[in-house]
């Protein structure tokens, strides 16, 4: 109880930061770093996570005066994190730094084995998560940055179109159309791999 009383609320911390107390931002950083890292880890390659999470907090700090107290800070920060990840991919695609590795025979072999052996065993038990992840990365690298984000949020994470639109800052109609198109692209890519 005492801890709860001594723990300043997000609104109180934000007010202090806006009043010029930069050090108060450390409270927000500690409070939300796990949440931000969880989001960033899902969308960004492992070796870029730390730098991208830094960028999320820098953007949040700069945008704090525009934060409206109507929604929760957590939700607002989540949107910033998702948009920072989207910007990361846009930059990557623009500079063509994407690893465009093709699928190897080992991936193809794994895929055939896994799909032909549709038992009740999940893929964890077979200990071949690495191939699955590489196949997913390969498929996602063939999509545009925006298609990639929509696929990850709507198709893989299972968020609703409205939730994804809120995080990306796009209209619901835009996310709906993009979701449909990107899903079709992914389907074409994956069925191509299966039938190869």
Partner 1 sequence: MKPLQRKYEALKKILREAYFEKEHAEVDEQWQVNAMRRIKGLGPITSRPNFLVFFERFVWRLTPATCLLIIVGAIIFLKLGFFPDYDVLTLFINDTEELSLAQLF
Shortest Å, Cβ 178 to partner 1: 18
Q: In the 8-state DSSP scheme, what is residue 171?
A: -
First to last CA, the chain: 62
Minimum CB distance to partner 1, residue 57 (Å): 5
Rounded Cα distance between 60 and 77, Å, is 7
Minimum distance, C-beta of residue 73 to partner 1, in the bound complex (Å): 15
Distance of CA 178 to the CA centre of its chain: 16
Shortest Cβ distance from residue 38 to partner 1 (Å)? 7
User: For residue 90, what are its two tokens?
Assistant: 């846009």
Q: Which residues are at the interface with partner 1 (CB under 8 A)?
A: 17-18, 20-23, 25-26, 29-30, 33, 37-38, 40-42, 46, 49-50, 53-54, 57-58, 61-62, 64-66, 111, 114-115, 118, 122-124, 129, 132-133, 135-136, 139, 152, 156-157, 187, 190-191, 194-195
State the Cα–Cα distance between residues 164 and 183, nearest whole angstrom: 15
CA-CA distance, 35 to 19, in Å (whole number)?
26
Q: Which is nearer to partner 1, 4 or 112 (CB)?
A: 112
């Amino acid at each position: 109880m005492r801890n709860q009383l001594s723990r300043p609320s997000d609104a109180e911390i934000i007010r202090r930061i806006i009043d010029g107390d930069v050090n108060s931002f450390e409270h927000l950083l500690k409070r939300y770093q796990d949440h931000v890292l969880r989001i960033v880890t899902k969308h960004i390659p492992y070796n870029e996570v730390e730098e991208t999470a830094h960028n999320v907090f820098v953007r949040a700090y700069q945008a704090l005066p525009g934060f409206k107290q109507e929604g929760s800070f957590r939700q607002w920060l989540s949107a910033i994190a998702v948009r920072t990840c989207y910007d990361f991919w846009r930059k990557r695609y623009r500079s063509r730094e994407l690893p465009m590795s093709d699928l190897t025979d080992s991936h193809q072999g794994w895929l055939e084995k896994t799909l032909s052996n549709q038992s009740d065993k999940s893929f964890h038990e077979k200990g071949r998560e690495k191939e699955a992840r590489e196949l997913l990365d390969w498929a996602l690298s063939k999509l545009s940055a925006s298609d990639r984000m929509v696929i990850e949020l709507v198709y893989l994470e299972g968020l609703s179109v409205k939730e994804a639109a809120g995080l990306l800052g796009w209209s619901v109609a835009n996310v709906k159309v993009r979701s449909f198109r990107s899903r079709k692209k992914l389907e074409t890519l994956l069925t191509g791999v299966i039938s190869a």
